[in-house]
Amino acid sequence: MRIVVSGASGLVGRHLVAHLRNSGHEVLTLVRRPEREPHEVSWDPAAGRLDPRRLGRVDAAVNLSGAGVGDKRWTAAYKETVLRSRTETTGTLVRALLDLDERPQVLVNASAIGAYGDGGSAVLTEDSPRGDDFLAHVVREWEEATGPAAAAGVRVALARTGLLANPVGGAFGQLLTVLRLGVGGPLGSGRQWWSPISMPDELAALEFLLTHDVAGPVNLVCPEPATNQAVTSALAAALHRPALLPVPAAALRLALGEFGEQPLASQRVVPQVLLAAGFRFQHPDVAAIAGWLARA
């Protein structure tokens, strides 16, 4: 397949581009600077500029663009950046794809399990109702920006990724760092449900969505979510380190502001659609994920 990828310089994007190329796909990457390589296409999503003639023929698109939700404190200005960085990029890409002489078969658009808000201990599937907090609002606007593509007959898969488990970057990268120092522990009560996915499974799932007839919301999480206490204990055991120092909820809120509520939120999400479509996980539970992280 000939695939165009936005957000190719991000954590998932860098790994995905390499993964797809290793699988034999031709990958174009969208860049917000002058082009330097033949596979690069310059664009300006904030200005709505992407010349479809520069894309040529594409079979598929993967949109991973968006400012990191935990990169900065959630001021009003940064919350607007989080939202607009997703809706503007999605809208710009979708318009360019629909202007092609031959439209792509599929758009895989990044999304997040933040769609569901804090679900407590309830099991959340793709059919569960959406939440009403800030991230749920962002996901709603983000996913709705793909509407014109779906209306035009492009298959749109909305990849609602959970907590991405990778040795570097994101929540797991930070958690691994403190656990290796022997000073980590559960966050808050530790009873909140976490729904992680390993980087290898994330990449395989994104490729699966490109090549299989799956549309609509798709939860990218391991089949067996676990409490934060269980996740922390599994990581500590894999690293042969203690996990005896819990992080008080008040400390998280003080350090991270409004974003500090997110690690404390409970989201017991399962990948109902992926499993029904026949996807097989390399790391189906937190023990397998922790073992991989310790070895990676």
- Provide the pLDDT for residue 181: 87
Choose which CATH entry (3.20.20.240, 3.40.50.720, 3.40.50.920, 3.30.420.270) describes domain 2-295.
Answer: 3.40.50.720
Burial class (CB in 10 A: 0-12, 13-18, 19+), 34: exposed
| pTM as predicted | 0.96
- Provide the pLDDT for residue 138: 98
Q: Write out the chain's pLDDT in tens, 296 residues.
A: 999 999 999 999 999 999 999 999 999 999 999 999 999 999 999 999 999 999 999 999 999 999 999 889 999 999 999 999 999 999 999 999 999 999 999 999 999 999 999 999 999 999 999 999 999 999 999 999 999 999 999 999 999 999 999 999 878 888 898 899 888 899 999 999 999 999 999 999 999 999 999 999 999 999 999 999 999 999 999 999 998 888 888 877 877 788 888 889 999 999 999 999 999 999 999 999 999 999 98
Q: Which long-range contacts (CB under 8 A, 24 or more apart) does 247-256 make?
A: 247/184, 247/185, 247/186, 247/187, 247/188, 248/188, 249/187, 249/188, 249/189, 252/187, 252/188, 256/70, 256/73
Look up residue 233 and give its two tokens: 């204990």
- Provide the pLDDT for residue 100: 96
Domain parsing of the chain, residue ranges: 2-295
Report the run of H or E that residue 144 belongs to, with start and end: helix 134-144
